[in-house]
Structure 1
Amino acid sequence: MNSGHRFKTVHDAQSLFYHEKKGFVYGRWENPNTLEYVRKLCTLEDYPDGIATTTGMAAITAVFLGLLKSGDHIVYCDALFGTSRKLIKDFLPRWGIQSTAVPASASGSMWQKAITDQTKLIYLETPSNPDLSIIDLSMICTIANPAHVLVCVDNSFATPYLQNPQKWGVDITIHSATKFIDGQGRTLAGVVLANEELMRSIKAFAETTGPSLSPFSAWLLSKSLETLSIRMQKHCENAQKVMQYLLAHSQVASVRYPFHPSHPSYEVARKQMRLGGGLVTFDLKQGYEAGIKMIEKLSLFTFTANLGDSKTLITHPASTTHSKLSQEERFKLGIGDAMIRVSVGLEHIDDILTEFDRIL
């Protein structure tokens, strides 16, 4: 838990500051714990380099401001975490960086049409938050690579255990490690993974602006990675059973889960993911008020905006995370008045289904 590192000689210090040799300088740059955590994720995602950050949003910001400049343009999928959308739409224009949104259901030609001569980056989530849209990564990379446009994917929902974007040609993968990588709701963290050339610019921005992960948080996350496969396997098994339960329930109008044939991108999900993930969304038949009433009856489940915990977490996006959007904007993003997002936990499945029986 130290903030600085001792130099052996003046020459040694100069070599470290000029990146002529590898080592530790200052906690704002890197420490042994963050290095171990990043190396593990580089191995899991098959990238040569990366950097740890304090939050997932810090990772996204480091990518955008480390690689883009005034006059650049990005293309992004409109099915995004609300704060990511806010960063792109409200803040990037202040630095002269413009953007174009493309629907999650867009064809390859629509993505192609959105790219301009100024486009430097395509940014997306798959599965997306909260409607679990799936984007075909091989299709995106086939379009972006000939145009010399970088592709960055938020892989937080899938984790390295379920999906490896680099396999399909993605240049940069990020995670909000706050979610399933930690898996127990204990700390905030993010990570950026890419090749050494891209990471030089991203690291330069991060080392200057200081979104530095603490050694203790890095230790927690490094330990969490040791159980990632076991946890994700159980999250997915429980989510599958929750999906099947909800599909048969009289109060439920529709259910969305990447590994169910009713999902509009089911075939793509089966191609690029190993399992369907720990998130399930569903719509109640009775509308907005029914969603609120259901939330107010929770006992076992926790009502929170977070996800990826060991316990089941549940939220009603229309009244919480996406309440600042108009109904028309929400509907355009596939977020209905009665949509419920469930981050299915590791509790015994009988307890989970008993709670659903009670609240529905």
Structure 2
Amino acid sequence: MKEKKENSPTETFFPDLSDERELTSLLSYELRTPLTSIRGVLGLLLSGEFGSLSETGQHLLKIAMHNTDRLMRLAEAIEHEIDPPASILSTEEIERFQLETDLLLAWEHQEFELFYQPLVSLEDGATIGFEALVRWQHPTRGCISPAVFIPCAEKIGSIDQLGLWVLHQACSQLKVWQEQFPQKPPLTVSVNVSSVQLSQSDLPDRIREICKDTGIAPGSLRLEITESSSIENSERAMTSLEQLKAMGIQLYLDDFGTGYSSLSRLQDLRVDVLKIDRSFVSQKKWEVIWSIILLAESLGLEVIAEGVETTDDLEKLRLLGCKRVQGFLFSEPINAQEATDWIGTPFAH
């Protein structure tokens, strides 16, 4: 029989790390104790004990509490030697959390860049403007689609910052082009605006400041909205849209025909242009496109057809009376220098 050995003061204070059970207990304790304290502080913050938080702050705080709860469940799984719930350590969640972290760092590392897709007039083949599209060049994952990182930016509360950056960059570039290529009417730029941005009551003031700072006339700026984005926070959104219209900014309704579109809704939104969704062009739904063009004409609106990729598509749209188009037949989204080279070269039509 092994002789029992008296514990030294050090051995009494520190558990035997060679014992697997004691090590597991220690890991659980060391993880659970600070998490409990963190959870309590987060709760006090959320309750307003330390002062009020902005909407963004509250949103980020809820994310922190949710993730703390996940780690608490992990600590419990370690303590009881059971398999942790898949939701704690799923590959998808780990990748999403990593993406959120990388997105916050992207500002510091200047990983965002604007690309521009030309808007072409079918009347003379000239470029009359550009749609500004943000791209994220990740250092290891390459170019990440906006369809991936825009929802992520909305979730972590950085979409407002990103949206304002895009607006400022696009307006600054437009000013350079207008000085370099004076034409009548002047070149324009369109920028997509999210539902989160539309819900911000100070959006019109911020855009007014951006126009003043970059030196462009508000009438050269177009804002692209979706019908669903205007429905969310509808009252705030409508107020913002009215103020933007009063500044002379034109409103484009993007992806028209794919959402909740109705005649009464169009009249409420007071948009200037309907953008025919690319899916209608790619699927050759010419009757639908013809109906949209007729509707636009009856309301005094203009139309832009997206997703034009073949000369057959182009000729069909021309016959239907569409006067402005964009798509890969002309150019994919290109960087600022390539867009500069593109201006002044009419499309052969």
Fold shared by both chains (TM-score > 0.5): no
Higher relative contact order (CA 8 A, sep 6+): 1
TM-score, scaled relative to structure 2: 0.27
Larger Rg: 2
